[in-house]
Amino acid sequence: MKVVTTIKEVRENVKQWKKEGQTVGFVPTMGYLHEGHGSLITKARENNDKVVVSIFVNPMQFGPTEDLDSYPRDLEKDSKYCESLGVDLIFHPEPSEMYHDDFSSYVDMSVLTEELCGLSRPVHFRGVCTVVNKLFNIVQPDRAYFGEKDAQQLAIIKHMVQDLNMDIEVVGCPIIREEDGLAKSSRNTYLSPEERKAALVLSQTINLAKQLIADGEKDADVLVAKMKENIEKEPLAKIDYVKAVNGLTMQQQKEIKAPMLIAMAVYIGKTRLIDNTILH
């Protein structure tokens, strides 16, 4: 496995592979890898000849008061993990390699980015779309892998690929959870032991939603109200949003019917966590 820091080195490797007729699977990450990322890498490994993982904490997708500086980083541990999963190349650029001083081109999507996380993180999806677009141009993958935990991000990337005629298959992979149900996230490391327990309210509320739907609930407003009521019982939790939206357009929907995304962002102390379930 190679670890490279420049765009030139990625291009040289990928060019050679393509010349040999090999397919390339790509997993973009911000590092501090966990089993959620591992499941994306494993899927990429199964379905492609070569696997590239990018590790880049993208400054453009963080707001001024967000956790860019404290975002956890551990390249050595990430490299070992990638190697154990059969990754061929890690791309780990410095911000200056990705964004030159005179950088001024952005990918700015409307509609889908204006709901859910886009409301509380106004610059976030512009940063995500711009960096993913750049990474796609650099790596030129056949397939790219994203987790369903960031369901809005996944829908946005699929839409961007379609809108901009990119010849890349975007593959979504299921949420990976801890044994007690908490969705795996690099940000879980911010939680104190007490907050870690309180954070279970997210997955428990997702399970409640699934149960209510299985029991025949059809009204999205009723579902959301019951979910909020459940979260509010946890003193350390503060709701950012709980919403039931169309899974493709991210627009609110009255009736519970597929494709639907039932998603939430909840602060546990200072840590903002997300979780969801998708009705396919």
Instruction: Quote the tokens at residue 241.
Output: 């949003």
Query: Among residues 174 and 211, whose Cβ is nearest to ligand PAF?
Result: 174
Q: Please, which residue, 152 or 204, has the CB nearer to ligand PAF? A: 152
**Which of 14, 117, 128, 191 lies at the binding interface for ligand PAF (CB under 6 A)?**
128
Binding part of the chain for ligand PAF, among 14-22, 85-93, 128-136, 251-259 by CB under 6 A, reads 128-136
Cα–Cα distance between 69 and 50 in angstroms, integer? Answer: 32
Task: Report, in Å, the least distance between residue 28 CB and ligand PAF.
Answer: 4
Active site residue 37: yes
Closest approach of ligand PAF to the CB of residue 149, in Å: 9
**Residue with token string 């070569």:** 50
Q: Annotated binding residue at 32?
A: yes
Considering only CA atoms, which of 107, 9, 119 is closest in space to residue 58? 107
CB of 22 to ligand PAF, least distance (A): 23
- How many angstroms separate the Cα of 178 from the Cα of each of 33, 49, 82, 196, 270? 14, 30, 20, 11, 21
Instruction: List the one residue out of 145, 97, 150, 106 whose CA is nearest residue 129.
Output: 106
Residue 37 annotated as binding?
Answer: yes
Stretch that binds ligand PAF, among 16-24, 127-135, 221-229, 247-255 (CB under 6 A): 127-135
Identify residues 29-58 at the interface with ligand PAF (CB under 6 A).
Answer: 29-30, 58
Binding of ligand PAF by 247 (CB under 6 A)? no
> Could you tell me the smallest distance in angstroms from the CB atom of residue 132 to ligand PAF?
6
The reply on whether position 138 binds ligand PAF by CB under 6 A is: no
Is 265 strand, coil or helix?
A: strand
| Residues paired with 161 in a beta bridge | none
Contact criterion met (CB below 8 Å) for 72 and 32: yes
Tokens 């000849």 correspond to 49
Q: Mark the segment that binds ligand PAF (CB under 6 A) among 22-30, 213-221, 233-241, 252-260.
A: 22-30
Question: Exactly one of 28, 36, 141, 247 binds ligand PAF (CB under 6 A); which one?
Answer: 28
Options 131, 173, 227, 278; binder of ligand PAF; rule CB under 6 A = 131
The values of phi and psi at residue 146, to 5°, are -135, 150
By the 8 A CB rule, do 151 and 112 touch? no
* Cβ within 8 Å of residue 265, ≥6 positions away: 116, 117, 120, 239, 240, 241, 272, 273, 274
Binding residues for ATP: 30-37, 147-150, 176, 184-187
**Which residues does the annotation mark as catalytic?**
37
Interface positions with ligand PAF (CB under 6 A)? 28-30, 58, 61, 128, 131-132, 150, 153
